[in-house]
Amino acid sequence: MKGAPHPTSDMIAEFELLEQFDRDQRYIDEHYEELWKRYPNCWIAVYQGKLIAFATTIETLLARIEQNRLQPENVARRRLEKDSDLIL
């Protein structure tokens, strides 16, 4: 009987990215009210527990994420609206 395959370094890296993304989403959830007060009706981007960008449009936010040499799909982002649960 064969055992489970050993995870590859790519699998481990992908898992770590997913865990980091989840932590960053939780950061937004936990700090939503204070973020909203500071950046109302703006898009924000959080990476490794830090706010790295904000903008009034998603296009500008994505450009700022890329200026930080990050891939947008690895960065937690959300539009801050009062009483909003919009997550991208």
Tens digits of residue pLDDT in 21-51: 999 999 999 999 999 999 999 999 999 999 9
Over 80: is that where the pLDDT of 14 sits?
A: yes
pTM, whole model, 2 decimals?
0.80
Contacts of residue 43, defined as CB under 8 A and 6 or more positions apart, other chains included, come to 54, 55, 56, 57, 58, 60, 61, 77, 78, 79, 80
